[in-house]
Amino acid sequence: AVLGLQVINNIAIVVLTQKTEGERSFDRWTAVLHMVDILCCCAVLIPIVWQVNTLEKNLEQSDNHDNDEVIDMQEDLTVPEDEFEEAAPMNADSRLASKLKLFRSFYLLVVGYIYFTRIVVYLFATMLDYRHTWLRHFVIELVTLAFYITVGMQFRPMSENPYLTVQQAEASSNGREVEMPSKPAKMKD
């Protein structure tokens, strides 16, 4: 529903920009449509914030539970061999924590981008005279370019990418190691 409202809002903004600037209705509708745009962005971001906070709480509870188990194991001098197999989920928790940190930094980047392009640039544009209105679009394009470059650098392919970690059990096929080609094969026409 929010996405549909944003599409309708953006279409209304495009139609509104075809009217003559300076009319009283233009200023009024521009302010209303920008407010609807900001509310739609908040409606999309609030569930994401809630999900990140829930994941962080679950991860903290899991860490506290694991620490309690480690203390209990240290109190018992004899440790059955079955408990050593439970060490693997701790590795999964660390991978989850690294993914959560990466997602949190991406989320903060998106929030900053939306805040800047929707609110700060709008306030900046209200202070510009008619001859300098092009600066608003220039600043938006510059911030968008910086946003895409930063996201591209953050999720660039790398050897230790936390999203591409493969567990040893997943990498083997019928007891054999799966080898990844170092160079892509050339396609024949």
Amino acid at position 172, single letter = S
Question: How many whole angstroms from its chain centre is CA 53?
Answer: 14
Residue 85 pLDDT: 45
Residue 73 pLDDT: 47
Distances (CA, A) of 109 to 45, 121, 147: 12, 16, 8
- d(Cα 87, Cα 82) in Å, to the nearest integer? 10
- Label residue 22 left, alpha or beta by phi (over 0 means left) and psi (-120 to 50 means alpha): left
Q: Give the pLDDT means over successive 10-residue stretches in the chain (189 positions).
A: 85 81 78 86 82 81 64 47 46 74 84 86 87 92 95 82 56 54 52
Q: HEC profile for 87-128?
A: HHHHHHHHHHHHHHHHHHHHHHHHHHHHHHHHHHHHHHHHCC
Residue 66 pLDDT: 61
- The SS3 of residue 19 is coil
Task: List the structure tokens of 183.
Answer: 């160079």
Residue 143 pLDDT: 95
- The SS3 of residue 172 is strand
- d(Cα 96, Cα 84) in Å, to the nearest integer? 20
- d(Cα 29, Cα 45) in Å, to the nearest integer? 24
Cα-based angle 136, 142, 147 (whole degrees, multiple of 5) = 125
Phi, psi of 19 (to 5 degrees): -80, 170
